[in-house]
Structure 1
Amino acid sequence: MGKITLTQVRKSFGETHVIPGIDLNIEHGEFVVFVGPSGCGKSTLLRLIAGLEDISGGKIEIDGTDATDLPPGKRGLAMVFQSYALYPHMSVKKNIAFPLKMAGMDEAAIEAKVQSAAKILNLANYLERKPGQLSGGQRQRVAIGRAIVREPAAFLFDEPLSNLDAALRVTMRQEISELHQKLATTMIYVTHDQVEAMTMADKIVVLNAGRIEQVGAPLELYNHPQNLFVAGFIGSPKMNLITGAEAQKHGCTTLGVRPEYIEVSADGPWQGTIGLAEHLGSDTFLKVDVPGIGMLTVRGSGEMHLHHGNQIRLGPQAGKIYRFGPDGKAL
């Protein structure tokens, strides 16, 4: 099992309140991603769940047991860090087996668990190698294998892919998602990359300044952001946010339109000048300066033959706008 419940969990460093108070339910088997900008408290929250930081108030329950004051080793959780933290003098097999050896498990049981983890992670042919002989992605797999053999109630990932190059990050995202399907174990994953969050999560927790802005499935957050922060953070490229007279015409303080929902048409209500055209093959991204509105990002097909300096007319698709009030909440 791996149900985790946070009740008014707080963390302060002196007079600085990093996490003012969070309530959150994580169900068994969910893949939950904590996402938000740098300094939003996502890694701190993960460390509180792991027991690596003491909470300043509130309660943490794991499978119905109060774990607030339990040391990390008694919580039944396994953490995978950004740095692989492997022993360079040990083989892959010994690195994976290390936590079991420390727990006093017999050699035959250790061997069986290591072989099982190595098979799941495609490391069976690398068990006798040292970490220095492996690629970054393979080293991260070894770190995950060391967590798997412990058979934890939940896996905690703290930005595990940030040290990898872009292509390898895509591959490892897929591998971790497939691992979740195989193990059917709760996973909590911290990242600042909202693309990682959108592609991997069952449930996303958007954090801002230590507070939860919104919790929901990826497409729920994308299609129904509850406030300006979530609207501007979830989505790549970001949602266009328009203020002033144009927003007031729609009865709101801020008008939101995603780049893919702005159409180039001869009778569009907005006229502007293209400042930048990015032709990426499958997509074209335009930066269009519209007087009285500002710079808008437009996403179109790869066949769009428009360039810097072109004058174009634009307009939002019917029914594809978002309206926000003066408090930043969705109307």
Structure 2
Amino acid sequence: MTAIESPEDLCELRATEDKGLGLFATRDIQAGEQVILDRQILGCRDYPDLAQRTFEAIREFDKLSKSDQDDYLSLYSWQEPTVVEELRQLLAGPTHGAIPLDQIEPSIRVVTILRSNGFQQYENRLGEDGEVAWGRRTVFPWASRFNHSCDPNLVWSTSWVPGYWQARANRDIEEGTELTISYVPAGLPHEERRKQLSRYWGFICACDLCERSDSAVDEETKDARQTLQEGYEQEGGTIAVQQGTSEEIITRYERRIQILDQPRSLSQLYFAYLDAADFCQHLAENNSKEELAHLEERVQLLEQAYATGVQVWGPGDQMVLDTAWHIKTLKQRLGKAGVSV
């Protein structure tokens, strides 16, 4: 597998205790440091129609070199029974031209690997309806090796460097620590996270954050996500489990930002602003009456993140530029709704 910037100096692939293979830090990594910049191995248009998605995935796979096909087929594939049966009927049916019987199961694996490992890529523009124009679902060989955590130590994007997948540390990481990303959007309650992970990836999350969520021993941790745990002020902290009312969660975000608002913590402060902005997006999507107000709050938090990012990495950093783009598109959306920000 080949990444644009090889991760081999920062991480290595090895067995975990209970999740198969995973990537682990081979040295200390600082918050904000780039861990990997990965090139796609396969990409398809993210059509709403299953048949279009399926046959395009098969066509694109057939175009790959033998080496790339081998790398692709080595990736995890969640064979969800109802999806597999739907694909089997589609591939064997006459509507789209049946494929040879001996190619049906290999083709199903090609499609389910894309379903399990595909990241959404979009062009930095808005569609006619004012929404972000999602374009492609793309598989990256190294990115697909990161395991999930609801409290990930990496944040990733496919737009910081358009056409590629990039991950950065969202806090300081010690040598030997497993590197993780989140497979689900920020801001989801515990039960919704578990539901999505079970449905789309076929596992029940047992990360430290979810295990604490199920425990009746630590009520404060059970009642929180994106809050500060014991020792946070001294050690730099980790993120716990999001429960409680919106007001309580927002208060915890504000407390996290307040504690990190100091020169030695600016890189972590940047991600704290992004986390809070993501939660405002979640509130906007789930409360139509207050949607615009929550989007205004999101803009303000992104502007704070942008200013912090400029201090840490400079205005030309791709991650900072991506934040600026989100601010611009949100302001355009709010402007169309008659809101001046």
Q: Which has the larger radius of gyration?
A: 1
Higher strand share: 1
**TM-score with structure 2 length normalisation?**
0.29
